Amino acid sequence: MAQPAGPLDSPWTRRYASAPDASVRLVCLPHAGGSAPFYNELAKALSPDVEVVAVQYPGRLERWRDPLMENLAELADVLTGELLPLTEGDFALFGHSLGTTVAFEVARRLQAQGRTPVHLFASGRGAPSRHRREFATRPDDRTLLQLMRGLGGTDPRVLEDEELMRLALPVLRADYTLLDSYRYVPGPPLDCPVTALNGKEDHKVTPADAEAWREHTTGSFDSLVFPGGHFYLVDQRAEVTGTITARLADSRDRHGH
């Protein structure tokens, strides 16, 4: 796959493994409070066959000066424009939690512009049609810390570090405000296969929430459950990597590649 000259230098995208001969590009979108390096290990595991491009949301790490966004539709609009140059060849989208909802909305927008992904991987989030608000009002620090402890995926020592939390909590609060701004608007389904991936002990996503993704595609659908909670994919990286590789191969075979 030829590397485009400009877009990967965008503030919005990061690459962690070289894959110049990859046949497909996988755009990965992080969870609430997350950032692009969350996909570092996945990128290395999938290369050289799949090129991973991880999205870097504003307001974190080297983008700490950029204003946090609190409207999901606006974020999806901006991201669609940023990612459009990366969709000239075969591409797929992988989102986790918040990133899944953003990935779905980006996929809808790209499809409307004639750029349909070959696959959507919906991790740790129920179907958009079953979206529920996380908070009735803007959460305070204590509420956010309780949420982080409940979801797992964060070292308890980090949660006790007041300086780190002083930096992390505003980002997390903005991301949940962004997620709670989401209103699903019915529209044409995606014309690509969808795979739902969830942790067995993740109580945020019910089996019905996962199964409802079927309504959002004209393509094939499957729902996979892995051992673990909301951040199952950290401990189940090898299994998740294998699933992605197999599904992308199937999707590209259907496209005649």
More confident residue, 118 or 135: 118
**Residue 257 pLDDT exceeds 60:** no
CATH tag, 7-132+186-254: 3.40.50.1820
Domain boundaries, the chain: 7-132+186-254
**Active site (annotated) includes residue 123:** no
Question: In this predicted model, what pLDDT tens digit does every residue of 24-53 receive, in sequence order?
Answer: 999 999 999 999 999 999 999 998 999 999
Over residues 138-145, mean pLDDT? 87
More confident residue, 253 or 183: 183
Check: CB of residue 105 under 8 Å from CB of residue 129: no
The DSSP string of 71-122 is -HHHHHHHHHHHHGGG-SS-EEEEEETHHHHHHHHHHHHHHHTT---S-EEE
**Active site (annotated) includes residue 230:** yes
Question: In this predicted model, what pLDDT tens digit does every residue of 74-89 receive, in sequence order?
Answer: 999 999 999 999 999 9
- Please, what is the average pLDDT of the chain? 91
Of the ranges 37-51, 94-108, 127-141, 169-183, which is most confident?
94-108
Q: Which residue in the list 35, 47, 97, 123 is annotated as catalytic?
A: 97
Q: What percent of the chain has a predicted confidence (pLDDT) above 90?
A: 75
